């Protein structure tokens, strides 16, 4: 009898179990390898593409369903602890610093003097951790809709425990859209550290034109910044707006957004649509990307502004040295500038995109949220 292998699928954490066949021989790099391992995590990237990696003996550290999302914390052999929400990997212990440094620091470093930050989502605490490295900040508000996710991450993600207890952090459990709507406060930086827009998930309305135009933009101070992930295809437009010739401009409204995978085969899922949507609201749009090993893809972010940007590699490096408490492990000025160079395929897709993201006409990353859970 072989060992049972449990697979977790993007359309819910199914209990599908397969028996391991000890006679099965896999070819790895041309070498015969007898697979006697236990459990594997499997994520469906598309109908014909899956991404999987081995778990340690006690591979499933936690699995549950909150009011809004399905949650799992896995102990993997390659990537350490991995947080999975609605069947999509959110972060991995060994390389989450790449994602979160790219999400947080460029916008903060582009701002001349950031004092306040509002984080939409970010329940695991990593975005807050990175923001709190900035000595100029007086206040960081983290607003996540899911109390269970936040409580779970506070207990189990030890790397962020200091951030959760930081005196400058104000933790709010609420829908970010509702919280911004009722708030009388404006912010220098707004960060969208949201789950991917999956059908049935809680976040897709926060990627729409109406949200950006009617709710988010009015809550920014002059020269403010919004941050969120996006497809990596935004990059090709970077140098249209981000050059030393704009150094004379001292203020801008910046938006750095997260919208999903930005690889050459995946950027059309939602990236180009969200990029085009933001262009309808803001005059200048900048994108940059980085490869995230645990995501098995290139990931993208975008910044948007009503004024041209005013920073270069040297200025960013100076601000990192002056403003940040501690070391960054990934980002520096030269890396940020290079990350904003897009390939021809992505550039053309961005240029030719016509879709505008709305509540009635949304695009989704492959997979489903709790509303579409298969029991």
CB distance 353 to 184 below 8 Å: no
Domain 96-370: assigned CATH number: 3.40.50.150
Please tell me the distance from the alpha carbon of residue 66 to that of residue 91, in angstroms, as a whole number.
Answer: 19
For residues 240 and 102, the model is more confident at: 102
Average pLDDT estimate for 63-92:
89
Query: What is the pLDDT at residue 198?
Result: 52
Query: What is the pLDDT at residue 235?
Result: 32
- If phi > 0 it is left, if psi is from -120 to 50 it is alpha, else beta; for residue 260 that is left
For residues 70 and 330, the model is more confident at: 330
For residues 107 and 239, the model is more confident at: 107
CA 336 to chain centre: 17
Please tell me the distance from the alpha carbon of residue 205 to that of residue 359, in angstroms, as a whole number.
Answer: 6
Average pLDDT estimate for 132-149:
96
Is residue 167 very low, low, confident or very high in pLDDT (cuts 50, 70, 90)?
Answer: very high
Average pLDDT estimate for 154-177:
95
Structure tokens at 131: 């923001």
Which percentage of the chain shows pLDDT scores above 70?
72
Range in 11-20, 22-31, 346-355 the model is least confident about: 22-31
For residues 55, 58, 61, 65, the Cα torsion angle rounded to the nearest 10 degrees is: 80
Average pLDDT estimate for 63-82:
90
Query: What is the pLDDT at residue 20?
Result: 31
The CATH 3.40.50.150 domain(s) of the chain lie at 96-370
Residue 314 has pLDDT above 90, yes or no: yes
Q: Which residues contact 33 (CB under 8 A, 6 or more apart)?
A: 25, 26, 27
The CATH 2.30.140.10 domain(s) of the chain lie at 4-92
For residues 2 and 151, the model is more confident at: 151
Average pLDDT estimate for 145-162:
92
- Average pLDDT over the chain, rounded to whole? 77
Residue 315 has pLDDT above 90, yes or no: yes
297 in catalytic set? no
pTM, entire model: 0.79
Query: Which of 75, 95, 144, 193 is the catalytic position?
Result: 193
CATH topology for the 4-92 domain:
Spermidine Synthase; Chain: A, domain 2 (2.30.140)
Is residue 199 very low, low, confident or very high in pLDDT (cuts 50, 70, 90)?
Answer: low
Structure tokens at 300: 């993208």
Query: What is the pLDDT at residue 306?
Result: 81
CB distance 71 to 152 below 8 Å: yes
Is residue 362 very low, low, confident or very high in pLDDT (cuts 50, 70, 90)?
Answer: low
């Amino acid at each position: 009898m072989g060992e049972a292998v449990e697979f977790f699928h993007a359309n819910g954490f199914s209990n599908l179990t397969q028996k391991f066949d000890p006679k099965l021989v896999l070819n790895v790099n041309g070498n015969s390898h007898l697979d006697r391992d236990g459990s594997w995590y499997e994520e469906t990237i598309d109908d014909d593409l899956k991404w999987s990696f081995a778990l340690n003996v006690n591979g499933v550290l936690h699995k549950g369903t909150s009011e809004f999302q399905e949650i799992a914390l896995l102990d993997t052999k390659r990537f350490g602890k991995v947080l999975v929400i609605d069947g999509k990997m959110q972060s991995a212990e060994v390389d989450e610093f790449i994602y979160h440094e790219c999400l947080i620091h460029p916008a903060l470093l582009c701002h001349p003097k950031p004092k306040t930050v509002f984080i939409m989502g970010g329940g695991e605490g990593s975005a807050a951790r990175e923001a709190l490295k900035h000595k100029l900040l007086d206040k960081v508000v983290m607003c996540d809709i899911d109390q269970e996710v936040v409580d779970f991450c506070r207990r189990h993600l030890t790397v962020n425990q200091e951030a959760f207890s930081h005196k400058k952090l104000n933790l709010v459990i609420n829908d970010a859209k509702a919280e911004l709507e009722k708030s009388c406060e404006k912010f220098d930086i707004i960060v969208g550290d949201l789950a991917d827009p999956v059908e049935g998930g809680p976040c897709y309305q926060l990627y729409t034109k109406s949200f950006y135009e009617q709710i988010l933009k009015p809550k920014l101070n002059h020269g403010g910044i919004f941050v969120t992930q996006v497809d990596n295809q935004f990059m090709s437009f970077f140098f249209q707006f981000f050059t030393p010739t704009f150094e004379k401009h001292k203020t801008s409204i910046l938006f750095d957004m997260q919208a999903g995978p930005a690889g050459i085969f995946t950027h059309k899922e939602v990236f180009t649509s969200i990029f085009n949507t933001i262009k309808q609201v803001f005059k200048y749009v900048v994108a940059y990307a980085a490869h995230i090993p645990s995501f098995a893809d290139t990931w993208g972010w975008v910044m948007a502004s009503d004024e041209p940007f005013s920073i270069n590699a040297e200025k960013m490096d100076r601000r990192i040295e002056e403003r940040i408490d501690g070391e960054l492990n990934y980002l520096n000025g030269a890396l940020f500038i290079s990350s904003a160079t897009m390939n021809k395929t992505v550039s053309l897709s961005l240029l030719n995109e016509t879709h505008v993201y709305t509540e009635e006409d949304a695009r989704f990353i492959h997979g489903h949220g709790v509303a579409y859970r298969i029991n």
